[in-house]
Each structure stands twice: as structure tokens, then as C-alpha cells.
Amino acid sequence: MINVLVVEDSPVVREFLIYILNSDPDITVIATAGDGEEAIDALRNHRPDVITMDIHMPKLNGVAATQLIMETQPTPIVIVSGSTDPAEVGITFDAIDAGALAVLPRPAGIGHPDHEATARKMIEVVKLMAEVKVVRRWARMRGASPASLSVRAPLLNRVAQTRIVVVGASTGGPPALEAILSSLPKHFPVPILIVQHMTAGFMEGFVQWLKNSSNLPVHIARQGELPLPGHVYMAPDEYQMKVENRGEIVLTKDEPEYGSRPSISYLFRSVARVYGHDAVAGLLTGMGRDGADELRLLKEKGAITFAQDKESSVVHGMAGEAIRLGVATMVLPLEKIAAALANMVAERGEIKLGA
């Protein structure tokens, strides 16, 4: 049985969420709270397995409550947001940055055509997040100089020149990506393509949030555009993203892979075909195994591959699978990834031994 604490300031919405969660035989709502202060008290008294958290609340908002919880009694937190307006979503990702695991739109009301699907999605995410037993926060990397960080890795003698970097992430990915992009040099000389598993409706707000700290321009990828050096391209909601022969981005409605669209595997396969040994590819924190087999394909083509280590991952699923398969050229803590990328690109694919 998964015990859930529902934190929501609206009594009507609170009862609605309780109704949805209690409809599943594996979930019980054991307590509720109307603001962040009540949430802290309820957490101490009831010790839930998962918390659903509202953002805009009196006394103590969802971001501050999340931060306190993660600092004092780490518990899986799912943000349930009443808005996907990009202008308001930034504060939602501040909560993710503080340690929340996932963000969901509030399920559609009873009678709405999307009610069953959105309610089912909420139940599914709560169950998945209940499996995350240890929730870690990592040190902030904003403003760090990649050149100042030592990166120890095998020296790879390669004739190839790095022409593209591709990254896949899932649970725990937003703050990990923010840490990396805020630490890369402003004149990073190749494009970066990213697939981040995320509930539809939040990608535009996520990109706006990333822009606040990234040293590089961040965009939602568009059909047919040629990626520019030093620019970051995020796969859009509900589209598969790949590259074609000239390197242009192609977006399709092809079937999901590993339950995801966009999927990391879909992008990685195309990069292996088009760029081969001229690519750098990596997997960050996240559930599942999306992209792990395709990382093997990239490595076989001569690409440099990396995986985030267990200690700095919120969930060591995808990256852990890549390590288990032996397809990661390097296993790196989060705080070393930006430095490694900067060195790989600067050295035309050769990784410098750290001092």
C-alpha cells in the first residue's frame, strides 16, 4: 500500500485529488494539508511514502515546503500544478530544483473527455515515484568554471572531431540539466540536442526556466532547422526528434519507445547513423532504460559515451543500465559533466587527463 499526503490549499481540489488517488486499490491518502506549514507537520506525524504538492499556497508555498522537506525528511514529492502557462511554470521548476521528482498538471474534472486519462496518469506517476526510496539533492553548480574542474578519464586518441552532443534524461533530469548548462562555457562550439522525459504541457515553461541560468541559448526544437553551434535544442512535447543527413532536425509522430515520445533511443539511433564517431552522447538520471541500448550503438560507431554516476543521480535507472551494459566510455558525477564536455569538444574528441 502506498501512503500519500495531499498538500493543496483549495478544499474542492483537495477532495478531488483524494477521490482520484483513493480510487486505486494500491493507494491510500493518509493525510492532507492546506499549506506548506501544515504539510511539514503532517509529514512528521504520518511519514507518507509520497507527497502531492501544490505550489501557490498561503503561509509557506510549495517551493519553500519542498526545500524544507528535502533538507529535513526527504520524501518523494510530485508537484500537481493548476497551470501550464509558461509564465507561471518557472516557480514549478524551482520546486523541482529543490528536490521534487515530477510535475503533473491537475487532472481534468469529472465529465471532461480527458478526465480518465489524466487521472490515470497521476496515479501512475505517484506509484512510480513511490519506488524512489532515496531522494538526494546535489550541490549547485551555477557559475562554476569547467576549466577549473579536474576530469580524470582514459585518454582517447581519436581522429574524429566532435560535431554534436546529445543527452537523455528522465526523473531528476531538470535540475541536472540546469546544473550542466549553467556551467558550460558561453562559446561552446557544437550544438547540444536533449530529450528530457516530461509530462506534456510543461516543456515550454521548462525551457524558459533553463534560460534563466544557462550560458547557452535554449530552444524547443523546430521542424527542419539546422542546429547551430553553442545552441541547445529540447525535443518538444509528443514528438519524436531525430537528425537527418545534413544534420537537420526532423520531428515525427512515430510511435513511443520505452513508453515515451520523445524517446532518447529514437534520437540516439539517428545520431549514430548521421554523426557516428563525431558524436558525444550521454545518459543522466532517470527511470527505465530508454537510450541504453542505443548508447551501445553509438559507442560501437566510435562516439564518446558517458553516464551519470549513481551517487549524484536521483534515480540510477537509464545511466545505471548503460554502465551495466559496459557502453559508457566514462562514468561521471554530475559536477564533472560540464567540464568533461568542454574538454572533449575543445580537444577535438580527446579527453585530457586531470591534474
Residues 6-65 have pLDDT tens digits of 999 999 999 999 999 999 999 999 999 999 999 999 999 999 999 999 999 999 999 999
For residue 289, pLDDT beyond 90:
yes
Cβ contacts of residue 239 below 8 Å, gap of 6+? 251, 252, 253, 261, 262
- How do 232-234 and 218-220 pair as beta strands? parallel
Listing DSSP states for 156-211 in one string gives ---S----EEEEEE-TTHHHHHHHHHTTS-TT--S-EEEEE---TT-HHHHHHHHH
Q: Which residues contact 77 (CB under 8 A, 6 or more apart)?
A: 50, 51, 52, 53, 66, 69, 70, 95, 99, 100, 101, 129, 135
154 and 62 fall within a common domain = no
- Segment 269-291 shows an average pLDDT of 96
Indicate whether 203 and 241 sit together in one domain.
Answer: yes
Band the pLDDT of 1: cuts 50, 70, 90. very high
Marked catalytic residue, from 170, 260, 265, 313: 170
Mean pLDDT, residues 141-146: 44
Whether the per-residue pLDDT at 156 is higher than 70: the answer is no
- 250 plus 211 within the same structural domain: yes
Catalytic option among 197, 260, 270, 277: 197
Instruction: Say whether 324 sits in a helix, a strand or coil.
Output: helix
Catalytic residue from among 290, 312, 313, 316? 290
Inform me whether the pLDDT recorded for 76 exceeds 90. yes
Question: From CA 71, how far away is CA 136, in angstroms rounded?
Answer: 9
User: Do residues 24 and 102 share a domain?
Assistant: yes
Whether the per-residue pLDDT at 236 is higher than 50: the answer is yes
Alpha-carbon distances of 323 from 250, 276, 284, 316, rounded to whole Å: 29, 20, 11, 10
**Average pLDDT, integer, range 220-232:** 97
Catalytic residue status for 46: no
User: Is 80 exceeded by the pLDDT of residue 4?
Assistant: yes
Q: Residue 247: what pLDDT?
A: 92
Average per-residue pLDDT in the chain? 89
One domain, residues 78 and 190? no
Number of Cβ atoms within 10 Å of the Cβ of 45: 11
Instruction: Label the pairing between strands 240-243 and 249-252.
Output: antiparallel
Q: Is 219 marked active-site?
A: no
> Does residue 209 lie within any of the structural domains?
yes
Q: Which three cell numbers stand for residue 321?
A: 543500465
The label of the residue with cell 478526465 reads: 115
pLDDT at position 155 over 90 = no
The confidence band for 145, taking pLDDT boundaries of 50, 70 and 90, is: very low
> Grid coordinates in use for 198?
516530461
Quick one: pLDDT at residue 152? 46
Q: How many CB atoms lie within 10 A of CB 250?
A: 15
User: Is 170 annotated in the active site?
Assistant: yes
Look at residue 347 in the predicted model and tell me its pLDDT.
61
**One domain for residues 158 and 302:** yes
Using the 3D structure, point to which of 130, 164, 189 is the last residue of a domain.
Answer: 130
pLDDT-based confidence at residue 353 (cuts at 50, 70, 90): very low
Structural domain for 28, as ranges: 2-130
